[in-house]
Amino acid sequence: MAQVENYQVPAHPSGLEMRTQINAIILALIGDNAGPTEPPETYPGMMWGDTTSNTLKRRTNANDGWITIGPIDDFLGDVKTLVSQANDLANTKVAKAGDTMTGRLTMGTDGEAGRGEIAIKRYGDGTAMYIRGPDTNATGIEFVNNAYNSIVMRIEDDGSLRFNGRIRNEVEFWDSDYNGYSARVGQGYVKLARWDGGGYVDFARARDQDYRWRIQYDVNADYLLFLSNGGQPLYFASDGNIHSGGRGWVWDQINNAINNANNRAPNGANCNYNSGLAEIANVETGNPASDFGNPWVMIGLRVTTSSDINRIWPRGVYLRNS
């Protein structure tokens, strides 16, 4: 224990007195002014070994109190304990880069202002998109654009995936749906599926309704089919032919029409006849009627005149059947 009443050496001391006072001041400084009570003279920043509480203290810069540093014998003991605890705690945490985490990571707290959020930046200019929890009116995860003014995608808690945009790459939907479909678009109005006979697209009025119209690829016949539910199918063959369930193959009908047309006279041709020139009985008052025995057309008249009467003979030819 070493304390002094005064840290100033009196003026004009004798050699022995100076030596005695300087030694006492040095011992007080070396011993941290240890004693059961605070030193009688205090200065900012001075040390005091409080032997009553067995703690080392430091005087405030305002010289108006003491700050406890720690035990006299090991004043850094608490610091070392805290450092050790900090190291132990740090070893349980994930490093900012290159570390691996296992288990569940929870971000955010309850309430609107406490939802979790991650900013994912692009290399270079720092442009970011954000992944965050939704507000109280939705569930799942939201993907927010860089301007932070639009939710571009949401994965809901029930697994539904919603886009505020379009899919720009090849996408495969494969999961069972109503009536055995693999995928659906627009609340079920367009449905996609595949069976052993090939893939098809169905058009319906509602999600759980069977198809009204179907477009199907028939892998066995290599046909593209258009089907109505309850109607006749329409087939498109790989050779360009078309088959109607109500009319047959289109090219067969066209070929028949062409063949029939080839057996007909072209437009503007003269009609063939099947006889030589024939005349019907002359026309005069009181002469009985007379007919040709076959269908005929009139091609002219023969007229004679006399003083008492005019006579007219219609002239014609018989027609051919074909």
The pLDDT score that the predictor gives to residue 42 is 92
How do strand 183-185 and strand 198-203 relate by DSSP bridges?
A: unpaired
Residues 20 and 75 in one domain: yes
Residue 290 pLDDT > 70:
no
Q: So what's the pLDDT on residue 146? A: 92
Asked whether residue 122 falls in the same domain as residue 75, the answer is no
Does residue 198 lie within any of the structural domains?
A: yes
pTM of the model: 0.38
Do 21 and 66 reside in the same domain of the chain?
yes
> Are 159 and 185 in a shared domain?
no
Mean pLDDT across the chain: 80
What is the amino acid identity at position 132?
A: R
Write down the pLDDT at residue 171: 54
**The two structure tokens encoding residue 105:** 């990571």
CA-to-CA distance for 224 and 242, rounded, in angstroms?
10
Domain extent at residue 220? 178-231
CB 143 within 8 A of CB 151: yes
Mean pLDDT of 221-237: 88
Do the domain assignments include residue 63? yes
Decide if 90 is inside a domain. no
Number of compact structural domains in the chain: 4
**SS3 state at 117:** strand
